Structure 1
Amino acid sequence: MSAKLWFKGARPMTLPVAVSSVVVGACVAWPIIEGLGVCPAVSPTPAYCAANAQRAALLGSRFWPVLLLCLAVAVLLQVSANYANDYFDGIRGVDEGRGTEGGTAAGADQDANQDARKHDPKPMRLTASGKVAPRNVLFAAIGCAVAACVLGLIAVVWTGAWWLLAVGVVCVLAAWGYTGGKHPYGYAGLGELGVFVCFGLAAVLGTQYALTGALSVFGIICAVCAGLFDCVVLMVNNLRDVESDDRHGKRTLAVRLGARRARMVMNVVIVLAWLIAIYVGMALWIPWGGVLMASGIGVPARLVSGLAKGGYRGALADSVYQTVLFALVVVVALMM
């Protein structure tokens, strides 16, 4: 029951995914705030300039506190989803054999994969390991979800963005419905859709709206790009678990398509995400933003190559790094 054990169970490698989407949302919000302060140099000064300047000052004064609230909500939702996934997969037996770091899955393919697992082990799971009582994992998931709801409610009341309450409810239900309930959508091959909507569209656009009270077409483009990158993280994870998931009836997209076709779909998503990301970089900082993003093209190349060789851990790290790289490029390009 040590803090280190709970930290591992929270799957810290996945947390940059949530943070990156919120950072991108903040970046696409800032130009809207700056735009409110721009007034044409004409005489007499248009009446709306004073109102816009006042609005810009208000939004600017609460920018960082609201951004921190959005970051906390996103991270807590991610951790809650991870604990819930640990609990539900654990009690259903999907995480069989993951009692230790590098544990092998039981079944017909155990002997064939044993050596590979030693070099590229699957991460330990709290419930499957028996090191934490299942009910405690469930309570942790509930606690994180409640904390996210409380902080989200504070942000909504502060900003007056009331429709975000509905978005928050949908995201909480999606986080739990992925592997929880009688008919988890993650077991029906819809996990990538849930990630795209909640950790891509909702995280980026929800942050933009909370900070500005408005949305933009450019924000939607960035949200789509972030969502695609986030989907790749789940795709890699599901490809790693495709054999054990199939054996336990977890019909992820990778299981439904088969490993080969699932990799092909993932490659298409990667290409599309990178094309959009390069466009976003160029739109913010011509042409160097696009050049900066393109300079990291070795990451997806290494991801695809490593995955083909069974290097799932490295591929998962690269898939997460893509989301971070995109956020960093957006930040740098916006500052230039």
Structure 2
Amino acid sequence: MVSATTHPQQTGWRVWWHLFRPHTLTAAVIPVLVGTAYAWKIGSVNVLLFLAMFVASLLIQAATNTFNEYFDFKRGLDKPEKVGIGGAIVRHGIPENTVLRAAYLLFALALLLGVYICWQSSWWVALAGVVSMLVAYFYTGGPYPLAYTPFGELASGVFMGPVIVGIAFFIQTGQLTPDIVWISIPVMILVAAILTGNNIRDIEEDIAGGRRTLAILLGKTGAVKFLAGMFTIAYLWTVGMIWFGLGNSWLLLTLLSVPKAMQAIQLFQRGVTQPQMMPAMKATSVLHTQFGILFAIGILLS
């Protein structure tokens, strides 16, 4: 077990920045980039709307991570030595209610941006936005948190894939097309893969905490194979998009991220303890970022 002293003591804004888990924030950014890139491909882009959507998505993701910190602490899952948490409460002594209020504040700021987005586009966007925020809250909050079930990947993938990609596209174009759903699928898969990687790392701890994640049901070996399958499908889907005319060979830029996918799988296969699997978890997040940026560039150049 890793000693609490292994973790560097932080003060001031660094505590809060670490609480927001910055390495996960790109999960909220990539779907906005992809949806906006496709909107730009078929028309024009309102830069202020793009920036509002960009920041609102970041705020909701940061709030989700903050709620996760609060509710996991309340359920006794967070310990000072735990890997992968912000540790604002158990390591740095931030009062739990302060962390909860911070999460609500992030939601409030996102709502203000949401009002601007709706005012400039359509008030129907508010419905999708509110549902997304509810999913973010109930991911670890409420009596039956999604994070404690095998459906966490599905929920996070759908809402940080088709939903956010679709909203980013809709607010720029005023329409939704079947194409945008197909384009969002690789994003959905790789967002879900981040969660799968996180759950592989935490299998033993989650079992002790009463969770029933997909990684627990599959076991570590099965979960790593499942993760490799997710990566494979994301790449094959992108190639299929070229075949069916949703892009051209520029989308093959995404293949430049294959080494990071292979690295993540190899690190998970070799890792045994949580600290040993942290690099694998980070590699999965980096893969999502690399793939997403290359995917968006490929869409623009197509």
Pair 1:280–1:313, CA change in 2 (3 A): farther
The answer for the alignment partner of 2:180 in structure 1 is 219
Indicate the SS of the match to 1:296: helix
- Identity of matched residues, %: 27
Bigger radius of gyration: 1
The answer for the alignment partner of 2:13 in structure 1 is 3
The answer for the alignment partner of 1:30 in structure 2 is 40
The CA distance in 1 between the partners of 2:238 and 2:286, in whole Å, is 14
1:180 aligns with 2:132: no
1:335 aligns with 2:280: no
Contact 2:207 2:216 in 1 (8 A): yes
Which of 175, 193, 198 is the matching residue for 2:154? Answer: 193
Which of 285, 288, 291 is the matching residue for 1:323? Answer: 288
The CA distance in 1 between the partners of 2:157 and 2:251, in whole Å, is 24
Pair 1:215–1:326, CA change in 2 (3 A): farther
The answer for the alignment partner of 2:255 in structure 1 is 294
TM normalised by structure 2 equals 0.89
Contact 2:186 2:234 in 1 (8 A): yes
Please give the per-residue CA displacement for 1:36-93, whole angstroms capped at 9, x wherever unaligned: xxxxxxxxxxxxxxxxxxxxxxxx4x61110001101110000000000000001111
Which stretches in structure 1 are left out of the alignment for 5+ residues?
A: 34-59, 105-120
Please give the per-residue CA displacement for 1:143-189, whole angstroms capped at 9, x wherever unaligned: 00111111012101111x22211111111110010110111121122
2:283 is aligned with what amino acid? Answer: D
After TM superposition, list the pairs within 5 Å mapping 1:110-149 onto structure 2. 121-129=83-91, 131-149=93-111
2:32 is aligned with what amino acid? Answer: V
Contact 2:179 2:246 in 1 (8 A): no
Contact 1:84 1:179 in 2 (8 A): yes
The CA distance in 2 between the partners of 1:123 and 1:87, in whole Å, is 11
Indicate the SS of the match to 1:249: coil
The CA distance in 1 between the partners of 2:64 and 2:250, in whole Å, is 37
1:31 is aligned with what amino acid? Answer: K
Contact 2:25 2:62 in 1 (8 A): yes
Contact 1:280 1:330 in 2 (8 A): no
Which stretches in structure 2 are left out of the alignment for 5+ residues?
A: 1-10
1:176 is aligned with what amino acid? Answer: Y
The CA distance in 1 between the partners of 2:270 and 2:250, in whole Å, is 34
The answer for the alignment partner of 2:56 in structure 1 is 73
Indicate the SS of the match to 2:123: coil
The answer for the alignment partner of 1:64 in structure 2 is 47
- Which deviates more from structure 2 when the two are superposed, residues 181-190 or residues 4-13? 181-190
- Which deviates more from structure 2 when the two are superposed, residues 68-77 or residues 309-318? 309-318
Contact 2:69 2:86 in 1 (8 A): no
- Which deviates more from structure 2 when the two are superposed, residues 193-202 or residues 78-87? 193-202
The CA distance in 1 between the partners of 2:166 and 2:180, in whole Å, is 7
Contact 1:281 1:329 in 2 (8 A): no
Indicate the SS of the match to 2:294: helix
2:220 is aligned with what amino acid? Answer: A
TM normalised by structure 1 equals 0.80
Indicate the SS of the match to 1:127: coil
1:14 aligns with 2:24: yes
Which of 260, 276, 283 is the matching residue for 2:237? Answer: 276
Q: CA RMSD in A?
A: 1.9
